Amino acid sequence: MDPVCPLDYRYGREGVKEIFGEKRRLQFLLDVEAALARAHAKIGNIPQDAADEISRKASVDYVNVDRVKEIESETKHDIMAVTRALSEVCSGDAGKYIHLGATSYDIVDTANALQFDDATDYIKKGLKELRKTLVDLAKKHKNTVMLGRTHGQHTIPITFGLKMAGYAMEIDRHLERMFECKNRLLVGKLSGAVGTGAALGEHALKLQEIMLQDLKLGVEDVSTQIVARDRYNELIFVLCNIATSLEKFGTEIRNLQRDEIGEVAEAFEAKKQIGSSTMPHKRNPITSEQISGLARVVRGFMTPAFENSIQWHERDLCNSASERFILPHSLILTDWIVYQTNIVFKNLKVFPDRMLKNMEISKGLPMAESLMTTLIGKGMGRGDAHELMRKTALRAVEENKTLKEVFLEENEKLKLLTSKEVDDALNPNNYLGASGKIVERVVKKLER
């Protein structure tokens, strides 16, 4: 059958997709079964040679995905299919000790934690690479002046470096969140059908400790039949938060690439890349648009993930089917859009001349605050200075004049500022505040 899911043929990095593929998933389940057998042997519940044989054979080199599927088609139970397939390849009587005292979700949720560990490592690495790219842009464009915009309107000047420094710090916070989340996320369980460990005997807690130490995972403090889903919710929330930041960054690139703004642009392979099937001139910000679209898919998983936390008593099965979509898709897609965002910013075209040209469009109006501040510095009251510049700005718009032209007419009457003071106040480079120091502070912090 041809692939249906776009993850199979369009989106996602192979390394991350492989973590959630059938073969690797089976290996994670087998790793848990092997660790369980070794824990039983250490306690003295099963012979050591049986645990050794189970550990040797708990590999996809011996346990075939197709055989597991064949058994599951008969049993209608995925974990029993795994345990039976493993038992078939074990020599002697080792097979009878497989899955001893465990319930299916002891294996499933513990295997999930192993997958989370590997997949989030990819995302963390991608975030670090993106953070470095943004820091490099912040350094390079520390003094690249551009218009600030609020409500889609021109405001006072900022620098492109300041914008990038803000993005870099946002990514840095996501790395902190990911680290903190993993401390609570990477736990497994071995506590049976309702969390009591009754089928595991008198050494139930020790068995759980040994098994999870073997797998380098933490222990769920109090489980039901499953690991508490507030842990999974936190992961999904962090992924959604990351995806939202990346969509925000992508949206800014899309806006700044508009023809009427034209201050930055995604790289475009002029020799081969096609922007439109009908309009030959188009150079579309397609990667930023893809980032925005996929980020919305990631956020869409938040609702079913949170709904899965609401279980009937110690467990129902409502989470099982949806988590087969939610967990791999959210992790694969988040990693992908982190990777794609890094490509966008690493190859970003920045046009400082266009940024300066756009400042001329408003005919000096963005510098009204600067003139007001200068007037206050010369002794004018803040309210009077604001009212004067408000009227000056309105008149400049009504008469289609520059702010300087109209202000000079007022200044000639009121004798407020010298020509040099007016020119200095209207120079965007003189009204950047502490932006340079802010960028330097961010660079110092993130390059430490």
Question: In this predicted model, what pLDDT tens digit does every residue of 215-230 receive, in sequence order?
Answer: 999 999 999 999 999 9
Which parts of the chain have pLDDT scores under 50? 277-282
What structural domains does the chain harbor?
A: 13-97 (1.10.275.10), 104-357 (1.20.200.10), 362-446 (1.10.40.30)
The whole-angstrom separation of Cα 247 and Cα 363 is 32
- Contact between 193 and 107 under an 8 Å Cβ cutoff? The reply is no
Give the residue among 61, 74, 52, 56 at the shortest CA–CA distance from 23.
61
Q: Please answer whether residues 248 and 288 qualify as being in contact, where contact means their C-beta atoms are separated by less than 8 angstroms.
A: no
Report the pLDDT value the prediction gives residue 68, as an integer from 0 to 100: 98
DSSP letters for 170-219:
HHHHHHHHHHHHHHHH-EE---TTTSS-GGG-TTHHHHHHHHHHHTT-EE
Tell me if 34 sits within 8 A of 214, measured CB to CB.
no
Q: Which secondary-structure segment (H or E) carries 154?
A: strand 153-159
Q: How many CB atoms lie within 10 A of CB 302?
A: 17
Q: For residue 350, what are the β-bridge partners?
A: 264
What pLDDT, on the 0 to 100 scale, is given for residue 30? Answer: 98
pLDDT tens sequence across 402-446: 999 999 998 888 889 999 999 999 999 999 999 999 999 999 999
- In the set 151, 277, 313, 419, the catalytic residue is 151
In the residue annotation, 223 being an active-site residue is answered as no
Q: How far apart, in whole angstroms, are the C-alpha atoms of residue 416 and residue 410?
A: 9
**Cα separation, 448 vs 426, whole angstroms:** 37
Which position has the token pair 């996809």?
Answer: 60
pLDDT at 274: 52
Q: How far apart are CA 289 and CA 225, in angstroms?
A: 42
Give the pTM. Answer: 0.93
Alpha-carbon span 306 to 340, nearest angstrom: 27
pLDDT, position 277: 44
Residue 282's pLDDT is 44
Q: Which residues pair with 264 in a beta bridge?
A: 350
- The tokens of 241 are what? 């938060």
Decide if 151 is catalytic.
yes
Helix (H, G, I), strand (E, B) or coil at 156: strand
Compute the residue count for the chain: 448
Q: Which of 77, 91, 276, 309 is catalytic?
A: 276
Dist CA 349 CA 65 (whole Å): 47
CA 295 to chain centre: 9
User: How much is the pLDDT for 280?
Assistant: 39
pLDDT of residue 271: 52
Q: d(Cα 142, Cα 149) in Å, to the nearest integer?
A: 18
